[in-house]
């Protein structure tokens, strides 16, 4: 085996994740390679959830009793942790949502209801890319259908990258918003943020970055990205499900209208009209996912304790090793960048004519969990002429031995259907 | 290995050597998809009176969905429509059994090669793959039979009212087709991955 450098002490890390210790299908050790779908959860996060419910459970921002104050402090403490984690200039720029999809939909709806200069209408254009997750396509289709705005997108090159060759024709003076994924969930591509942001800024368009596959794996600095909004989700980064984040620049959050109305988001209410709380509360109607936010805070503590640079280096080494090993499997075609440069830890592939559903089923029998299908990015499958792909995706606890198990499993798949 | 209970040799054989594959002339054509995994089938039914003269198909997808279409072709071509519907219902019952139904002699007699799919019913994510072609067939047959009856009425030179009645029946059959689609939709929905 090639000597890999930059690996984390996975033996110690894996002890923190109870699910990684389980067996499936009559005693086979689980090989969990579906991290782009969701990560497993460390004991530290599970404990934070349990402790919250056992000791501090109350509704937030109301009530003067001890538990209400503790719950509020924990919830707002999680906001502080997120703000630090993404280097936000202000904690008030961190909006809790239920997931990245809600964060993306929130921006689309803010712009749909906004006044000038932010308003999206029939004279304006929305720009996305062909490699977006459906959650960054459908909200913009809805917005364009409702407002008459034109939806445009960047196509892809044969090696799985954005085709930015005609960027000046795609992002124009009419563009109001450019929304794109930082790391593709299906191709693994890491996109050139600076090039796109620079062009958007030239024409005065807002920029929204879907960082769902970036936040768990690398340093995420919203100031360095220079975007206007950044969306991501908690459950892919060791946190619980039901908690997402939208970061937005403060002046935008002040100017843009709320989307959901309800408790928490108001200042005063009369029967004829209401005024709204300042951001972020203006965008957090109703009782928020309190325990889930606390869990996300614990996940951030956990990841920060290890260090995002070290996690990125570990995954880079594992991904390079996986690409090298997969290249040795006959009939295997990687859908996405063939090398590890500007690449995240998800690798999609096809295996001859064997349908990904069959590949995934046989791997599952060996205890290997991968994702099969179109990965909520069907336009990518259409672009590369495949009905679906098999995807292996890695995280801080993934090991070279698990890559070896995958490669052996694929040989078994070939034998089975050969 | 438990997996062999799903991938029976019979299924793999139909997958590798599909029977009756390719689109031929038909009285009705439907296109059904499985949105989770991208399985697709275009299926045509040709009727000769109350007999299924041909079921032709083109599709792409996993071994289970493609073998399913092949087995269906082998089982239903030449059958009376009423018998074919009984086979379809029996297959549906087997697929919805979650692996708890041990096919008896009568079921084996009815389903023949299709009984090999019993193991698939233990895998909720794959049941819709197995059912794809069967739901498409049900839909297409309802459309073809509806059209045929309407045509028969018209050809009989009956009065306009009779034709209208035939037309209504055709509409009712088409509604039956919608029901078939709705059921496929329900199965799909039940097993949907988050996407």
Whole-prediction pTM: 0.88
Contact across the interface for A355 and B63, Cβ inside 8 Å: yes
Tell me whether the omega of the peptide bond preceding residue A280 falls within 30 degrees of 0, making it cis: yes
The helix/strand/coil state of A60 is coil
**Minimal CA–CA distance to A277: which of A291, A257, A248, A295?**
A257
Whole-number pLDDT of residue B148: 57
For chain B positions 12-31, those within 8 Å of chain A (CB to CB) are 12
**Minimal CA–CA distance to A358: which of A410, A295, A397, A301?**
A410
Contact across the interface for A25 and B40, Cβ inside 8 Å: no
Q: Which residues of B touch A357 (CB under 8 A)?
A: 37, 39, 61-62, 64, 126, 129
Q: Which residues of A touch B194 (CB under 8 A)?
A: 37, 376
How far is Cα A193 from Cα A222, in angstroms, rounded to an integer? 11
Domain topology for A10-32+307-417: 3.90.1150
Q: Is the ipTM here above 0.95?
A: no
How far is Cα A372 from Cα B129, in angstroms, rounded to an integer? 14
Contact across the interface for A361 and B40, Cβ inside 8 Å: no
Is A234 within 8 Å of A245 (Cβ atoms)? yes
CA torsion, points A101, A106, A112, A115, in degrees to nearest 10? -160
pLDDT > 70 in chain B, percent: 72
Whole-number pLDDT of residue A150: 98
Q: At what angle do helices A100-113 and A138-147 cross, to 10 degrees?
A: 10
| Rounded average pLDDT over B50-59 | 96
| Rounded average pLDDT over B48-74 | 95
Contact across the interface for A365 and B129, Cβ inside 8 Å: no
Low-confidence ranges of chain A (pLDDT < 70): 1-2
Whole-number pLDDT of residue A118: 95
- Among A134, A358, A416, the residue with its CB nearest the CB of B195 is A134
Residue A156's φ and ψ, nearest 5 degrees, are -120, 150
Q: At residue B152, does pLDDT exceed 80?
A: no
Whole-number pLDDT of residue A62: 82
Whole-number pLDDT of residue B2: 66
Q: Which residues pair with A269 in a beta bridge?
A: A274
Q: B157 pLDDT band (50/70/90 cuts)?
A: very low
Q: Which residues pair with A178 in a beta bridge?
A: A127, A207
Q: CA angle, corner A185, sides to A321 and A132, nearest 5?
A: 145
Scanning chain B, the segments in alpha helix (DSSP H) are 9-16, 63-76, 81-95, 105-111, 124-155, 160-190
* Chain B touched by A417 (CB under 8 Å): yes
Q: At residue B195, does pLDDT exceed 70?
A: no
**Contact partners, residue A88, CB within 8 Å, separation at least 6:** A82, A94, A222, A223, A247
How far is Cα A187 from Cα A161, in angstroms, rounded to an integer? 8
- Asked whether the domain spanning A46-304 has the same topology as the one spanning A10-32+307-417, the reply is no
* Chain A touched by B193 (CB under 8 Å): yes
Mean pLDDT score across all residues of chain B? 78
Residues A179-235 have pLDDT tens digits of: 999 999 999 999 999 999 999 999 999 999 999 999 999 999 999 999 999 999 999
Q: CA angle, corner B126, sides to A352 and B116, nearest 5?
A: 90
Q: Which residues of A touch B64 (CB under 8 A)?
A: 357-358
Whole-number pLDDT of residue B124: 87
- Among A26, A357, A362, the residue with its CB nearest the CB of B37 is A357
How far is Cα A49 from Cα A33, in angstroms, rounded to an integer? 25
Q: Where are the domains of chain A?
A: 10-32+307-417, 46-304
Q: At residue B168, does pLDDT exceed 70?
A: no
Active-site position among A376, A396, A405, A410: A376
- Among B3, B40, B194, the residue with its CB nearest the CB of A365 is B3
Residues in chain A: 418
Q: B147 pLDDT band (50/70/90 cuts)?
A: low
- Among B6, B61, B195, the residue with its CB nearest the CB of A355 is B61
**Minimal CA–CA distance to B29: which of B8, B2, B58, B49?**
B58
Longest distance between any two alpha carbons in chain A, whole Å: 71
Q: At residue B37, does pLDDT exceed 80?
A: no
Residue B29's φ and ψ, nearest 5 degrees, are -130, 135
Chain B residue with the nearest C-alpha to that of A363: B3
DSSP per-residue letters across A294-331: HHHHHHHHHHHHH-HHHHHHHHHHHHHHHHHHHTTSTT
Contact across the interface for A374 and B39, Cβ inside 8 Å: no
Q: At residue B163, does pLDDT exceed 60?
A: no
CATH class as words, domain B2-134: alpha beta
Assign domain A46-304 one CATH number from 3.40.50.300, 3.40.640.10, 3.40.50.150, 3.20.20.70.
Answer: 3.40.640.10
Q: Where are the domains of chain B?
A: 2-134
Phi-psi bin for B98: left (phi > 0), alpha (psi -120 to 50), beta? left
Is A161 within 8 Å of A154 (Cβ atoms)? no
Q: Give me the residue label for tokens 């124009």.
A: A172
Whole-number pLDDT of residue B39: 86
A376 annotated active-site: yes
């Amino acid at each position: 085996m090639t000597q890999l450098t930059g690996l984390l002490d996975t033996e110690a890390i894996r002890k923190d994740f109870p699910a990684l210790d389980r067996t499936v299908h009559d005693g086979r050790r689980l090989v969990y390679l579906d991290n782009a779908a969701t990560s497993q959860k460390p004991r530290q996060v599970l404990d934070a959830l349990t402790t919250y419910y056992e000791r501090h459970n109350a509704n937030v921002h109301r009530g003067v009793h001890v538990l209400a104050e503790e719950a509020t402090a924990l919830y707002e403490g999680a906001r502080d942790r997120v703000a630090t984690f993404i280097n936000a200039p202000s904690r008030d720029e961190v909006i809790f949502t239920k997931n990245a999809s809600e964060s993306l939909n929130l921006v689309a709806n803010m712009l749909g209801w906004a006044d000038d200069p932010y308003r999206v209408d029939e004279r304006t254009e929305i720009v996305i890319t062909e490699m977006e997750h459906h959650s960054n396509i459908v909200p913009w289709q809805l917005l364009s259908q409702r407002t008459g705005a034109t939806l445009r997108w960047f196509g892809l090159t044969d090696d799985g990258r954005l085709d930015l060759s005609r960027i000046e024709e795609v992002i124009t003076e009419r563009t109001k918003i450019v929304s794109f994924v930082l790391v593709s969930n299906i191709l693994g591509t890491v996109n050139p943020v600076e090039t796109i942001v620079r062009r958007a800024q030239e024409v005065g368009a807002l920029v929204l970055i879907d960082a769902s596959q970036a936040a768990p794996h690398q340093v995420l600095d919203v100031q360095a990205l220079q975007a206007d909004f950044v969306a991501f989700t908690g459950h892919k980064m060791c946190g619980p499900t039901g908690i997402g984040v939208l970061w937005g620049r403060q002046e935008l959050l002040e100017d843009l209208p709320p989307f959901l109305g309800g408790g928490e988001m108001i200042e005063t209410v009369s029967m004829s009209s209401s005024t709204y709380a300042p951001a972020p509360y203006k965008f957090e109607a109703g009782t928020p996912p309190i325990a889930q936010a606390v869990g996300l805070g614990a996940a951030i503590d956990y990841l920060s304790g290890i260090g995002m640079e070290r996690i990125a280096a570990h995954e880079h080494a594992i991904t390079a090793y996986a690409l090298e090993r997969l290249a040795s499997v006959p009939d295997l075609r990687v859908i996405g960048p063939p090398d590890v440069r500007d690449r995240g830890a998800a690798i999609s592939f096809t295996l001859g004519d064997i349908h990904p559903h069959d590949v995934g089923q046989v791997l599952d029998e060996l205890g290997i969990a991968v994702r099969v299908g179109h990965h909520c990015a069907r336009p990518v499958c259409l672009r590369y002429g495949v009905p679906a792909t098999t995807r292996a995706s890695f995280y801080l606890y993934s090991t070279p031995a698990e890559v070896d198990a995958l490669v052996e499993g694929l040989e078994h798949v070939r034998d089975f259907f050969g | 290995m438990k997996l062999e209970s799903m991938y029976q040799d019979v299924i793999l054989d139909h997958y590798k050597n599909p029977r009756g594959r390719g689109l031929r002339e038909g009285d009705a054509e439907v296109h059904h998809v499985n949105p989770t995994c991208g399985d697709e089938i275009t299926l045509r039914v040709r009727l000769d009176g109350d007999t299924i003269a041909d079921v032709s198909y083109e599709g792409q997808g996993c071994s289970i969905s493609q073998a399913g279409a092949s087995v269906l072709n082998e089982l239903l071509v030449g059958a009376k429509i009423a018998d074919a519907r009984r086979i379809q219902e029996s297959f549906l019952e087997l697929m919805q059994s979650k692996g708890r139904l041990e096919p008896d002699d009568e079921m084996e007699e009815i389903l023949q090669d299709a009984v090999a799919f019993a193991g698939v019913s233990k895998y909720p994510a794959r049941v819709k793959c197995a059912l794809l072609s069967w739901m498409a067939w049900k839909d297409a047959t309802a459309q073809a039979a509806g059209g045929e009856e309407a045509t028969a009425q018209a050809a009989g030179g009956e009065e306009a009212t009779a034709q209208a009645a035939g037309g209504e029946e055709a509409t009712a059959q088409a509604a039956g087709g919608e029901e078939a689609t709705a059921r496929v939709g329900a199965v799909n929905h039940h097993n949907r991955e988050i996407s």
